Structure 1
Amino acid sequence: MAVKTIPVGISNRHFHISQTDLEILFGKGYRLSNFRDISQRGQFAANETVGVHGPAGKIEKIRIVGPTRSRTQLELSASDAFTLGISPPVRYSGDLDGSAGATLVGPAGRIELTEGVILPIRHIHMSPADAKLFGVFDGARVIVAPSRPAQFSTRNEPRSLIFDNVLIRINERFVLDFHIDIDEANASGLKNGDHVKIIGFSELNKAVPRVGLVTENDVRIAIRKKSKIAIGPNTKITPAAHDLGREHKVFI
């Protein structure tokens, strides 16, 4: 049986912006305009770009991804952060409390952003149907590898690696996609449109509690994959899953 693979989507530096901040940078009543749609439904790369200044340098023309959000967020690579002279934490989109800041410069104004700058954690977007097929749950951490071995050549040796601590994000709106940044793509030799596969659960998965209902089928999948199910305060377990999980020491 063929292994189901996941397409690679490489994310360059970009903004998500609140309507309030958009109007400060571009003028009162301003609205984003669509440059092109992107892979995730309802989102688009906007025509508008913003400059970012940090203690050590600046980066101009960072594109905004629309539509507007409740909070402004800047996603950078580690190389970008070095250029600016800032130290953003590695986070998932929207987890902004205590993150780094920077100065945002637009055609109509500037903002001293106190927090909102992150290095995006590598992650996979998928639908609930995809999650069932792959045997994963929202918030799981998995290990990902290229779907085909790199071809060895003495004239051009392959650059390939395995990604640990890849976050699974599940939503009805999500289109299947493995998101990494430019630095990660360059290090691995992956390009947009390449494919990867999930080869197991990360050891870091132990720190992520399962949210929702754990069924007997979930436990059987964990047994087959020789993985664990982390139980948190909001986890519900069916009686059959409880008995089978305890018997095979699946729960942590």
Structure 2
Amino acid sequence: MLKEDSPTQVNPEEITPIPVTVGISARHVHLTREDVDTLFGPGYELKKFKELSQPDQYACEETVTVVGPKGVIEKVRILGPERKQSQVELSISDCFKLGIKAPLRDSGDLSGSSSVTLVGPVGSVTIKEGAIIAARHIHMHTSDAEKYGLEDRDRIYVRAKGPRGIIFGDVLVRVSDKYKLEMHVDTDEGNAVGLRNGDTVYAYKIHGHISELVK
């Protein structure tokens, strides 16, 4: 690790770029079994539309309308499989349109998050908490984590090159044998930097000074 009092002392392994594919995460909804029943009818089974890049994750054919105090967003895609708590992942721009102040959170960290109403073809449900702006993060398979010397919940830097290049700080690393190596950013972050699905960014293990990254 880089010493805070010695910004010129850099471990070469820390500034060796780790190429990571980008996935742009558009607004979407995860639902509980109970909320599926309310929105689409008792016993309704969500229909798989397409597989997503992460194993066992998929987009559903079904969409819902998300309603806030000042606006609505229609046709928000549901992602499967079902979860223990319903979650709505939005961008800051989406929150402006809805009139809510959703917190920036890691996926699944929903305590005290924002309330929204979801409207389906059969009914509606107001979730007391569950709307968040998902923090940027990297999914990493355990074999990749071992290869690169990283652990679950490490926070690192990621550099996106190009005309609107930027260095993302505080990027959460999420490690599991169920994950595929990929960085997720939302549409606001992706558009600001000019990133598209499938682009490559470069992750760095470095935790201290970042002067070496901008040379």
TM-score of the two chains, using structure 2 as the length reference? 0.87
Q: Does 1:195 align with 2:200?
A: yes
| 1:133 CA drift (Å) | 1.8
Give the whole-Å Cα distance in 2 for the aligned partners of 1:47 and 1:123. 26
| Residue 174 (structure 2) aligned to one of 153, 169, 176 | 169
Give the whole-Å Cα distance in 1 for the aligned partners of 2:99 and 2:207. 31
Q: Which residue of 1 aligns with 2:112?
A: 98
SS of structure 1 residue aligned to 2:192: helix
The amino acid that maps onto 2:171 is V
| Residue 86 (structure 2) aligned to one of 67, 72, 96 | 72
For residues 128-147 of structure 1, what are the structure 2 equivalents within 5 Å?
128-146=142-160
The amino acid that maps onto 1:161 is I
Q: Which residue of 1 aligns with 2:44?
A: 30
SS of structure 2 residue aligned to 1:35: strand
Give the whole-Å Cα distance in 1 for the aligned partners of 2:131 and 2:25. 15
| 1:199 CA drift (Å) | 2.5
| 1:200 CA drift (Å) | 3.8
CA contact under 8 A between 1:165 and 1:202: conserved in structure 2? no
Q: Mark the runs of 5 or more structure 2 residues left unpaired by the alignment.
A: 1-12, 209-215
SS of structure 1 residue aligned to 2:24: strand
CA contact under 8 A between 2:21 and 2:201: conserved in structure 1? yes
Give the whole-Å Cα distance in 2 for the aligned partners of 1:196 and 1:174. 18
CA contact under 8 A between 1:52 and 1:104: conserved in structure 2? yes
Q: Does 1:60 align with 2:71?
A: no
CA contact under 8 A between 1:57 and 1:83: conserved in structure 2? yes
Q: Mark the runs of 5 or more structure 1 residues left unpaired by the alignment.
A: 151-157, 204-252
SS of structure 2 residue aligned to 1:30: coil
Of residues 111-120 and 193-202 in structure 1, the stretch that sits farther from structure 2 once superposed is 193-202
Q: Which residue of 2 aligns with 1:83?
A: 97
SS of structure 1 residue aligned to 2:144: helix
The amino acid that maps onto 1:198 is A
| 1:159 CA drift (Å) | 1.5
Q: Does 1:12 align with 2:26?
A: yes
CA contact under 8 A between 1:13 and 1:62: conserved in structure 2? yes
CA contact under 8 A between 1:102 and 1:114: conserved in structure 2? yes
Aligned residues: 195
The amino acid that maps onto 2:144 is D
Structure with larger Rg: 1
SS of structure 1 residue aligned to 2:166: coil
CA contact under 8 A between 1:58 and 1:83: conserved in structure 2? yes
| Residue 63 (structure 2) aligned to one of 25, 49, 55 | 49
| 1:202 CA drift (Å) | 4.3
Runs of 4+ in 1 over 4 A off after TM superposition: none
| 1:4 CA drift (Å) | 3.6
